[in-house]
Amino acid sequence: MPNDIVLILSDGFWEAKHRIFGQPLYSLIRLQQLKIPLEEGLDGIIRFFRENFETPTDDATILSLQWRGPVTPP
């Protein structure tokens, strides 16, 4: 997954999961799928969810993963 950001959503984002995937189990999204600029990262996805879906009133978690390449020790 070069440069792209992968997001994993908890069940708190149930509406987003239902609308995007049609089922609650699947929780993995790539940022490019949602047409969000890559540089916005996690902030972009939070803004996108707030604008398009109901704000979760319960606990909700997003993990964003971006490949940066292996870190060489100093």
The site for other proteins (CB under 8 A) is made up of 1, 6, 8-12, 25-28, 41-42, 46, 56-71
| Shortest distance (Å) from residue 26 CB to other proteins | 7
Name 7's Cβ contacts closer than 8 Å, sequence gap at least 6. Answer: 28, 29, 30, 31, 42, 45, 62, 63, 64, 65
| Shortest distance (Å) from residue 43 CB to other proteins | 9
| Shortest distance (Å) from residue 57 CB to other proteins | 7
Spatial CA neighbour of 35 closest among 11, 4, 2: 4
Of residues 35 and 69, the one with the C-beta less far from other proteins: 69
